[in-house]
Amino acid sequence: MTIENTGLKLPAGVALRLASPADLDAIMLLEQECFAAEAWSRQNIQAELTEPHTYYVVLQDEGGNLLGYAGLSKLSSSDQSDIQTIAVSPSQRGQGFGKILMRALLDEAVARHAKECFLEVRADNPVAESLYRTLGFEQIDVRKNYYRPSGVDALVMRLDLRRYAPVVLGIETSCDETGIGIVRGNQLLANVISSSMDEHARFGGVVPEIAARAHLEALRPTMVKALEEAKLTLDEIDAIAVTNGPGLGGALMVGVGAAKALAVATGKPIYAVNHLVGHVGVDVLERGELEVPTIALLVSGGHTSLLLVRNLLDDVELLGETIDDAAGEAFDKVARVLGLKYPGGPEIDRAAADGDPKAIRFPRGLSLPKDMAEHRYDFSFSGLKTAVARHVEVAEASGQSYSKADVAASFREAVVDVLVTKAVNACLDYDVPRLLLGGGVVANRRLREVAAEQCAKQGIELRIPAFSLCTDNGAMIAALGAQLIMAGRRPSSMGFSAESTLAVTDVQ
């Protein structure tokens, strides 16, 4: 039986499946090859394979040859689980098979509701010990002369499974979306969003005070709904993560206050995390891990940032950002000029459908050679917005009609052209073969089209998370919190505050 586990990436041609008694001969051969005099007996392994409280898996190649096997034991009466054995064929080492086997067992331990996992490792096997440490195991004891007949000591190691796959509740309130997300490790359990967008519509943009009040009202019901969706109680949450910036000060304060209150009331650890880095980290929920290095283009109503991410948790560099309006804001403002509704992005997308993108050559902000020297990766949309307004004014003043579709299409083309050109330039300049998009503007059809075209042309892999994970949401905050916990980071101290201009280098 093949094991379907989206989090585990298997090399081509390699399969992971449950072990069966039919594997006994092959397992015995490998057991002897790996452990010689200390190998288990055939009866012993046979019994292990058939016990109901054990879980044995094998890795095999296309020819059906056994590459490795491993087993876990978890009694239903206990919170503890044990790694019984793990072996990788000597000719197949150094390819990550040990880690794949371990992760299969640990995922199963979590699924069987174990809270801890224990194992013994030979004191003279630093390679295995280091693998276990990277998974979060810590040494808790030494058993002298444990292995017979060699007399080698055994190190006893323990993994807190809440660190291997912590259940984290994430709170996002940096703009107009109240987002509560719940994850278990890299697995998405719930993503509930309550938006105050409609309340801002008549003002043509987000009004900070209205957003903050809306968060206050929406937080509790949104959290209740998220817990329901995840089928969890608050007690079952291991940690809380919250966006503490960048964003609107008052809006952030509501989330930060709520998260702190929750942490104090429940005694759970709290992680204050960066909103922009959250947009990038959300990819772990779909792919199990973030492939780095990657360039990330984050475009929403509040931000337009180009990041170089070498390591999600401690090496994020801001290459450039908007020096005036955010990309989404430009869509919203131009929509208003054209008499379209808020939010402007979808309206302009619709209006542009029948327009000619080449009808009017609107300016491409910070793209002239003289600007590129200083602002190669920065953006500016206010000149473009003014150009659109002038175009409409001139047409109206002279009593001529103008084509809304052509203006919308030409404006959209100008924004998309700059966004994609600069992002692709960053990939080429830094020799990064990946581009990840995030933020509400990613809904833009033309942006997706041009990004796909340009990336394909340059051999760049384009990543666009599901739209519900692209717009502001709590799941990305929970996912980043979980990443920090899995990496062994300490919780934030309660003294942190909402920081509207938090730098991307401050991941936590």
| Coil, strand or helix at 442 | helix
Determine which residue in the list 185, 247, 301, 320 makes contact with ligand KG4, applying CB under 6 A: 301
Binding mask 160-179 for ligand KG4 (x = CB under 6 A): ---------------xx---
Choice from 98, 255, 278, 344 touching ligand KG4 (CB under 6 A): 344
Paired tokens of 377: 């990766």
Nearer Cβ to ligand KG4 (67/408): 408
Shortest Å distance, C-beta 503 to ligand KG4: 19
Instruction: Kindly state the smallest distance separating residue 302's Cβ from Zn ion, in Å.
Output: 6
Judged by CB under 5 A, which stretch of 123-131, 224-232, 294-302, 484-492 contacts Zn ion? 294-302
Of 340 and 432, the one with the shorter C-beta distance to ligand KG4 is 340
Nearer to ligand KG4, 153 or 324 (CB): 324
Residue nearest to ligand KG4 (CB): 345
Q: Does 69 bind ligand KG4 (CB under 6 A)?
A: no
Site size for ligand KG4 (CB under 6 A): 21
Which residues in 73-105 are b (16+ Cβ under 10 Å) and which e?
bbeeeeebbbbbbbbbbeebeeeebbebbbbbb
Place of tokens 């080492």: 93
Of 18, 443, 464, 487, the one binding ligand KG4 by CB under 6 A: 443
Least separation in angstroms between residue 333's CB and ligand KG4 is: 9
Q: How many CB atoms lie within 10 A of CB 49?
A: 19
- Identify whether the C-beta of residue 174 lies closer than 8 Å to the C-beta of residue 247: yes
At closest approach, how far in Å is the CB of 415 from ligand KG4? Answer: 8
Question: What burial class does residue 495 get, using C-beta atoms within 10 Å of its C-beta: 0-12 exposed, 13-18 middle, 19+ buried?
Answer: exposed
Contacts of 290 (CB under 8 A, 6+ apart): 280, 281, 283, 284, 309, 312
Could you tell which of ligand KG4, Zn ion, none binds residue 443, using a CB distance below 5 to 8 A set by kind? ligand KG4
Binding of Zn ion by 322 (CB under 5 A): no
Applying the rule CB under 5 A, the residues between 437 and 456 that interact with Zn ion are none
Instruction: Work out which of 60, 300, 304, 454 binds Zn ion, going by CB under 5 A.
Output: 300
Q: Which is nearer to ligand KG4, 140 or 353 (CB)?
A: 353
Q: Could you give the CA distance from residue 428 to residue 275 in angstroms, rounded to a whole number?
A: 26
Select the residue interacting with ligand KG4 from 7, 204, 346, 383 (CB under 6 A): 346
Identify the helix (H) or strand (E) that includes residue 214. helix 208-230
Query: Long-range contacts: 80-84, Cβ < 8 Å, 24+?
Result: 80/114, 80/115, 80/116, 80/117, 80/118, 81/109, 81/112, 81/114, 81/116, 81/117, 81/118, 81/161, 82/117, 82/118, 82/119, 83/117, 83/118, 83/119, 84/48, 84/54
Rounded CA Rg of the chain? 27
Choose one: 148-156, 395-403, 465-473, 495-503; the region binding Zn ion (CB under 5 A): 465-473
Cβ of 261: how many Cβ atoms within 10 Å?
Answer: 10
DSSP 26-48: HHHHHHHHHHGGGPPPHHHHHHH
Which range binds Zn ion by CB under 5 A, 1-9, 221-229, 296-304, 460-468?
Answer: 296-304
Q: Tell me if 440 contacts ligand KG4 by CB under 6 A.
A: yes
The binder of ligand KG4 chosen from 81, 178, 300, 454 (CB under 6 A): 300
Asked if residue 383 lies in contact with residue 365, where contact means CB atoms within 8 angstroms, the answer is: yes
Query: How crowded is the C-beta side of 256, counted as CA atoms within 13 Å?
Result: 25
Q: Which among ligand KG4, Zn ion, none contacts residue 414 (Cβ within 5 to 8 A by kind)?
A: none
What is the smallest separation between the CB atom of 484 and ligand KG4, expressed in angstroms? 23
Binds Zn ion by CB under 5 A, chosen from 472, 480, 491, 508: 472
Choose the contact partner of 68 out of ligand KG4, Zn ion, none; CB within 5 to 8 A by kind. Answer: none
Comparing CA positions, the residue from 38, 57, 27 lying closest to residue 122 is 38
Least spacing, CB of residue 347 vs ligand KG4, in Å? 8
| Ramachandran class of 431: left when φ > 0, alpha when ψ lies in -120 to 50, beta otherwise | left
Taking CB under 6 A as the criterion, the residue among 320, 365, 439, 474 binding ligand KG4 is 439
Identify the three-state secondary structure at position 393: helix
Question: How far from chain centre, in Å, is Cα 50?
Answer: 38
- Does residue number 325 form part of the binding site for ligand KG4 (CB under 6 A)? no
- DSSP class of 340: P
Residues near Zn ion, by CB under 5 A: 300, 472
Residues near ligand KG4, by CB under 6 A: 175-176, 300-302, 328-329, 331-332, 343-346, 349, 439-441, 443-444, 471-472
